[in-house]
Structure formats: structure tokens, C-alpha cells
Chain A
Amino acid sequence: MQKRTIYKSVREVILLLAVAILSISFYSCSQKSEKSSLVVKKKYSIYVLGKDGKEYIVETNSLDSGKILPEKQGVLLNSKTMDRDIIVKNGSYYHLNRKKAELSKYNVQDDSLHTVASISLKDFSIENYLWVGKDSLLLTGLDVKNFSQTKFVLIETGKMSLLNSDNLAIPQPSGKFTSMSIGFAELRKNHLFIGYTYHQKLGSSNYTTSDTTYIAELDYPQMNLLKIDKDTRSTYPGGINTVQSYSFNDENNNFYFMTCPGIALGNRPDLPTGIFRIKAGEERLDKDYFINISSSLVNNHAYGMWYLGNNKAIIRSERKDLFKGLSDHYSTAHFEFYLVDLSAAKILKKLNLPLDKGTRRECVIVKDGLAYIAVNSSTEGNFVWIYNPTTETLNKGLELAGNTDFIMRIDKLNI
């Protein structure tokens, strides 16, 4: 009789436990669904490389103040499939997975990165992207074996469908030259300008670049080669703009691009870093316009350029006295930011920021006349600084703390 009562109470306890477990799981499920229904379009995204090599994307509405710990507020990325050579637009991220030869569109949902759609992109290494319409993405690139055949793909990004793709008739490297780079693509009505140059391999870890900047002009959308313009005032026009920006249009559609012959890009340090222009309405380089950055007060090579508005730009330059070579170029804090007056074709001043780390970074956003500049300082931490060109003041904004080693890029996500 006593035994039976014990059995009964044990059975009751088990039943109670089962009910408790079920209710907890229901509760957590309802919590999750509640969370996923809250789809908030954040304004900015920040790409962070952690101290332990982990990478995160953090979405936020403000860069003006506060502190973010990427390991808590960010989305942990799969570093095998994701990298910081991304295109960010209208809440989505686009990235080419080299191994799968697939360009995917991602969204952040429920604290993780979801693949929305993908498109096969075989034998294509992205050199430059250009939005030619709201949902039309033009990618210029090279073959993945020799990096010598220029090609393009035009993608409709809503469903990630292929609109057009072909090789381009830009001459392949010949003679001593073994590969090439495309540094910018710019569309003017029915004319596409593609800036490029050629490289020569010198050893297993050394190369150099032709002394010439080439600009091919093609008709669009037919993509026939019309003519090639050359300039030897500097070389290595632009760079891979999925990693960093090197060109822009001003309010009047004057197109500016930077050339980067320094060791981090062209490896022709004997030539100066410069800024070129194609005037609005014209179809060739402005031969009377050139800003020699290396011989200016910068006195160094620079990589990266962003338009601030009102004919002003921000450039990011290295300090050759502070790094030893390519091995410490990215890890040593040696980068400075300068303000450039494009109409006067001169360098105005150095921005009073801490020395920055990272060879190539998409680190400047301009919004409402203010420049948000992400700086990785060895001594002052990782901050987004706010430069106000009207008052010429600099203030510390959002801090990236915790596991943050490098702020690799900041992008406008939904603006």
C-alpha cells in the first residue's frame, strides 16, 4: 500500500516536470518569434575583426555616441564564407564566395546572417562594382587563373538574376606584363570608363606595375571598346572598391579618382600618389588637372579617398617613417587623414586624429555634412570620430570595444 503511494507521487513529479519543460520551451519559442517579428531597418553597419580572429557585423542606428561590444551586439560571421570585400546597399550585403564561385545576397535576421539569394559567378574575380540602377549591379572583374582577361556581369539584385555578362575587349597584358588590375568603373550616360593598369611579376613575393594609367572608354550597354586613354603622371588608378573607395562624383558630376603607386597597391613608389579628374560632360582625362599628394605636405603615399561635399575630400595616407614593410603595414598605427580642396587642387590640412591601423579599410561615411571616420588607434581604442567641416571640429563618437581589434568597414545600410 505504501509502495503504491510512492509510485503515485513519483509519477506526479514526472508529470509535473514534463509540464514545466513544455511550458519553458513554449515560452522560449514565443520569445524568439516575438523577436523575429521586430525587423528594424538599422541605418549603419559596422564590420569588425576581433582580437581572436572572429569577425562580426554590427548594425546600429547611431554612430554619434555609445559603446558597442561586437561579441554581444553583433552577428558572428562564418569566416570561411564571409570576408570584408562586400557591397552594402538597402539593408543587404553582397559577397562573392570564391570557392563556391557564387555571389550571394545576405540580410541580418534574428542575430545571424541569412542568405537571401545567390547567383553563380564562375571564373570571375571582382575588381570593381558600380550601381547602374536601383537594383542593377555592374561588376567588372578578371579571370581567376591569370587575372588578365577583363570581363563584366550585370546583375538584377532583387532576385539575383543575371542580365548580361561577357568578356571585355581591353587588351590583355603583354611583353613583360603578366597580370592586370581594374581600379574604377564610371558610367556617363551611354559611356563606361574603366581605369586599369598592368603588373609585372618579379619573384614569389614581389611585383611591380606599369608606369601608365589606362582608361578604356566603352559604349554602354553594348560594351564595345571605343578608345583607350593613357597617362603617365601616376599609375595604379583606384583599387578594388569592395574593400575601400578610391573615386567619386561631386555634386556637379565631375569624376575624381586617386592613383595608388605606393607599396600597398602598385608598388611603384617612385611615382607620386595623385588625384585625377574627368570633368562633367567630357570623355577624357583632364590633362590640366593633377593633385600630387606625395610632393604635398602629406609627403607620403596615400590609399583611399572619400567625398565630403563642397569640393572637399578626405584621403588616407601612410607614414613611411613608422612602418618597416608589408608585414607590419597593416598592424602598425601609421595612417593619417588629410583634407583636400579639389577645386583648388591642394591639400588643406591634416585631421587631428590618432594614428590609424589597417592597410585598406572602408572607414569614412559622409552624412548630413558630417564625416564619420572610424579609427583603430593603438593607444586610444577603436572609435568613430565625427568631423564637422563647417566648424572644423573633431569629436569622438561611437566606441567599438570588447573583442574589437579592427573596425574594418563602416557602411550606410538603410539611408
Chain B
Amino acid sequence: MNINQDLIERYHRDECTKEERKEVEDWLFAEDFAEELDLPISESKAEHKASMWNEIAPTPAKEYINKSHSFLFWRGAIAASIVLGLIGFGFYQFTLKTKNDSPQFVSIDNTSAINVRHLDSKGYNISVGPNTFAKINYATDSVDLSGSMLISPKKDVELIFKGNNKKISLKMGQTYIILNGKTNEDNFIVVSERNLMDLPPVLQKQIINQFSI
């Protein structure tokens, strides 16, 4: 068997078979080398011996330390992970709850010319119409809207609309249609979906098609 660096390293890592172990030990503790290494003529045997010993000499110690280190490290890391994980999970739960209870704002920019975007937050169900930008600040109950949206609050709220500062009372569970045009020619309209028939039929048809209601 050839004794090489890999085998010696495996020996120190305690990964050798019985035979390999015996081989290495025989080789290590032999008074004389039974086998002579065949080296190229230009290379000095003494140099190789020295470099070999240099390479393997610190290895057992290093390996040992590493092993114990890694064991300790992993044990600690696992424990820490569990603790951190638990804290993190709890924190996540907490933040999730706060976020849902009083989220700061929701911002939707629907650049599609056809599709409606839907959003279900804890405070509202919202559908944003095509070519619409909507930003709702939950802390101030203010809304910045350009375009059209359907909103269904999960509790009674009063919303203030940016631009005209109109205060609108919305009742829990009802769906409201809100239109706020981009140009001065456009109207600002808020009606309950149940009063859709009160809007001009031309606008009704537009809303029915946009939101598929």
C-alpha cells in the first residue's frame, strides 16, 4: 500500500479502515522504511521528508481542535438558532399582527389598461381599476386616488381624499365605488354599490365592465 498524504489525513480524521490504520501505523512507527519512495532524480529525499512532516505534523492537533470546535460551535449554533428562531417567530407574529391591525399605508399602481387589481388587507377589500394609482394611509385615513376603485371596509371608517379634502363615511361590509379623474374635467364620485343605479348609465356601464360587477 502506498502511504500518501490523503491516507494520512484520513487516518487523522479517523476515517481509515482497520487495514489502512494498521498500514499507516506500521509505516509511522517503523524503525526503517520497508519501502523506498521512488523520487525523480532531481528531487531530494530529505526535502520531501521534511516537507511531509511539516505538512502532517500540525494536522492532528489542528484537526482535533477543529473537531471539538465545530462540535461546540454547532451545539451552540443550534441552541442559538432555536432561541433566535423562537424570538424571531414571536416577533414576526407580533409585527404581522401590528401590521394588520394598523398598517401604515397601502399603495397600488395599476398601470394595466384593462385589468383590475385586487387587494385584501385586514382593514379593507380593495379593487383598483385600470390606469389607477391608489394610496391609502391607514394612520391618517387619507386616500390619494387617481382613477377608479372599489372599496369594502371591514369596519365603519371615514376617509379623507387628497386633492379635495372631502371626508367620506364608509359603512362596514358595504362596497363603495370611488372615481377620481386625472383631469379637471373629471368628477369625484363616491357611491355605494347598492346605489350604482343612481349613477348615470354611461358611467354605470363603464364601472360594470371594469370591475365585472
What mask results when residues 71 to 100 of chain A are scored 1 for a CB within 8 Å of chain B, else 0? 000000001000111000000000000110
Complex contact B190–A204 (CB within 8 A): no
* Partner pick for A264 among B132, B194, B200, CB 8 A cutoff: B200
- With both chains docked as a complex, state the minimum distance between the C-beta of A205 and any C-beta of chain B, in angstroms: 4
Q: Are B182 and A203 in contact (CB under 8 A)?
A: yes
A205 touches B187 (CB 8 A): yes
Residue B147 CB within 8 A of the other chain: yes
A330 touching B195 in the complex, CB below 8 Å, given contacts A199-B202, A205-B203: yes
One of B129, B181, B197, B212 near A203 (C-beta < 8 A):
B181
Within A339-385, which residues are at the interface with B (CB < 8 Å)? 358-360
A243 at the B interface (CB under 8 A)? yes
Residue in contact with B186 in the complex, picked from A203, A209, A264, A327, CB distance below 8 Å:
A203
A206-B181, A330-B198 known; A179 and B187 CB under 8 Å? no
- A42-80 with Cβ < 8 A to chain B: 49, 53, 55, 79
Interface core residue of A144, A181, A201, A207 (most chain B CB under 10 Å): A207
Which residues does chain A contribute within 8 Å of B179, judged by CB atoms?
Answer: 204-205
Q: How far is the CA of A199 from the CA of B200 in the complex (A)?
A: 12
- A49 near B194: Cβ-Cβ < 8 Å: yes
Residues of A within 8 A of B200 (CB): 207, 263-265, 267, 326
Given contacts A263-B200, A264-B200, A265-B200, contact A125 B205 (CB under 8 A): yes
Range of interface residues on chain A? 35 or more
Is the pair B187, A206 in contact by a Cβ cutoff of 8 Å? yes
Judged by a CB distance under 8 angstroms, whether B34 is at the interface is no
CA distance in complex: A145, B171 (Å): 32
A325 within 8 A of B: yes
**Chain B residues near A325 (CB, 8 Å)?**
187-189
With known contacts A179-B202, A240-B201, A264-B200, A204–B182 Cβ distance under 8 A: yes
- Between B131, B173, B174, B198, the greatest number of chain A beta carbons within 10 A of the residue's beta carbon is seen for B198
CB <8 Å contact, B198 and A204? no
Q: In angstroms, how far is the closest chain A Cβ from the Cβ of B127?
A: 15
The reply to whether the CB of A239 lies closer than 8 angstroms to some CB of chain B is: yes
* Cβ–Cβ < 8 Å partners of A264 in chain B: 198, 200
Contact (Cβ within 8 A) A53 B194 = yes
Contact assessment for B197 and A204 in the assembled complex, using a CB-CB cutoff below 8 Å:
no
**Which residues 301-325 in A have Cβ within 8 Å of B in the complex?**
325
**Within A185-217, which residues are at the interface with B (CB < 8 Å)?**
199, 201-207, 209
Q: Is A329 an interface residue (CB 8 A)?
A: yes
A106: Cβ under 8 A from any B Cβ: no
> Is there a chain B Cβ closer than 8 Å to A248's Cβ?
no
Is B185 part of the contact surface with A, judged by Cβ < 8 Å? yes
Determine whether the beta carbon of A144 is less than 8 Å from that of B188: no
Q: Determine whether the beta carbon of B181 is less than 8 Å from that of A181.
A: no
CA of A99 to CA of B211, assembled, Å: 12
- Residue A290 at the chain B interface, CB threshold 8 Å: no
Interface residues of A (CB under 8 A from B): 49, 53, 55, 79, 83-85, 98-99, 125, 144-145, 147, 179, 181, 199, 201-207, 209, 239-240, 243, 263-265, 267, 325-327, 329-331, 358-360
Question: Can you spell out 7 A-B residue pairs with CB atoms less than 8 angstroms apart?
Answer: A49-B194, A83-B196, A202-B185, A203-B183, A204-B131, A204-B181, A209-B202
Interface residues of B (CB under 8 A from A): 129, 131-132, 147-148, 171, 173-174, 179-183, 185-192, 194-203, 205-206, 208-209, 212
User: Beyond A53-B171, A205-B189, A359-B195: 14 further Cβ-contacts under 8 Å?
Assistant: A84-B197, A85-B197, A145-B209, A199-B202, A201-B206, A203-B181, A203-B182, A205-B179, A239-B201, A240-B201, A265-B201, A325-B189, A359-B199, A360-B197
